[in-house]
Chains A and B, each alone.
Chain A
Amino acid sequence: MEPIKFNYTVPGDDFTRAGEASADLKNKLKKMGITGAPVRNISIALYEGEINLAIHAGGGEITALVYPEKVELFLDDNGPGIADINLALQEGYSSATDEVRSLGFGAGMGLPNMKKYADEFHIESQVGEGTHIKMVVNL
């Protein structure tokens, strides 16, 4: 069965808009009759990813594929990349600036939260080329 596809562009220059894509997808999933813990897990995982795209990557693209049994989320950017992915996945590690922390993020919980709320989490990153993340949440 062909999945239902949603695409979003996350701007890199307007932090106040970060979260629009996650909120829109959450709304669409609810309208499709998908509710409860899976929707919250999708929303949180994608929201953290969206925040990362906005504050670390200079923006990026989100693709959501909705299947009857799962939702696949792809986050792609052409940002600075991550030098040490294992370090970035540790709770509490963050490369965020004080400005980002003053906005309530940058506690080093972004990637760990994404991994925590997704049933599958895959990340590839090249310094100077960008980061590509795939998450799967089972319905």
Chain B
Amino acid sequence: MKIKDIIELLDAENLTPELDLEQELHSACGSDMMSDVLAYVKDQAVLLTGLNNPQVIRTADMMDMLCVVYVRGKRPDALSLKIANEKGICVLTTERALFTCCGILYDNGLRGA
């Protein structure tokens, strides 16, 4: 699955349009607790979350993730987007809920740890 596929599947808006949407992704995780992401996630490329602060992007950066999806219509602040652009992390936002997003992506081949 590519980032452009996630945009289509989740009816998401791309908030970092200058970044590469052709990157291939194989795994994802969904969580609002960044400590859990740091503790249990391995080689996940996508983080889906309803949490909205710069530590979301920092966490994704530390985990070498390629894409962050904000659910339930959350929109990150300017600092988050600045860091994401610097680190090359694609940022998407969707109106759908976390559980629904995870289900759709799983149904289309993305897996967890």
Contacts and interface: CB of A to CB of B under 8 A. Distances in A.
Interface of A: 15-16, 18-19, 22-23, 26, 40, 43-44, 47-48, 51, 91, 103-110, 112-113, 116
Interface stretch (B4-12, B20-28, B52-60, B98-106): B52-60
Interface string B23-37: 000000000111110
Main secondary structure of the interface of A (DSSP, over half): helix
Main secondary structure of the interface of B (DSSP, over half): helix
B1 interface: no
B38 A103 contact: no
A22 B38 CA distance: 14
Interface residues of B, number: 21
Interface of B: 32-36, 38-39, 51, 53-56, 58-59, 61-64, 79, 83, 87
Contacts of B55: 15-16, 18-19, 51, 103-105
Contact of A16 (B35, B53, B63, B64): B53
A109 B36 contact: yes
Nearest to B43: A40
